[in-house]
Structure formats: C-alpha cells, structure tokens
Amino acid sequence: MIIATPGRLRDLLQNGYMVLNQCSWLIIDEADKMIDFGFEEDLSFILSCMPKDFEGHARVTHMFSATMSLEVEKMARQYLHNNIYVSIGEPG
C-alpha cells in the first residue's frame, strides 16, 4: 500500500525510486481538490505509470470527488473504464 501526495509520488517515480508495475488498485480521494490545487498534471503522470492490467486482471481505479468539475469529468473519462457514477442529491 502506498499513500502519498501527488507531487511526492511523481518525484519518486521520475527519479526511479519507485515503480507501479505491480499495482492493481488505485484510489484517488478528493480528486476535485487535487485539481483545484494544481495537481492535475501530477495525477495524469501517476495514472500513466500505472499498468492497464496486472497478472491478467484489469486495474481497479476509484476516484472520489465531492464535485464533478469539467476537469474531474475529463480525467474520469480518460482513465476509468466501465465506470459507475453515484450522485447524492441534485447534480450541479
């Protein structure tokens, strides 16, 4: 299990201190806040380092966000497959 800020994880990956080739689960919490704070490029880099599958099983990715801004929707469409959208209350 790895718990890290996007900037620190990107730094570790770029400098070769860590690889994600055996990582089969990815959970991004507060995706909207990370994008608001300017981490969209870091998140995209981290997602690009993740394998599409591991040992024949598709990667499992969870994104949690209190709001669905255009940027979060764009990232979800790009990196999530067969996704499920759960909304509580009125959209928007």
Q: Are strands 57-58 and 53-54 parallel, antiparallel or unpaired?
A: antiparallel
pLDDT band at 16 (very low <50, low <70, confident <90, very high): very high
For residues 42 and 7, what is the distance between their CA atoms, to the nearest angstrom?
Answer: 6
The pLDDT value given to residue 12: 94
Give the tokens for residue 6: 């996007």
pLDDT band at 83 (very low <50, low <70, confident <90, very high): confident
- What value does the CA radius of gyration of the chain take, rounded to a whole number of Å? 14
| Mean pLDDT rounded to a whole number for the chain | 81
CATH code of 6-79, in short, is: 3.40.50.300
Whether 92 shows a pLDDT value over 70: the answer reads: no
Q: Where do the domains of the chain lie?
A: 6-79
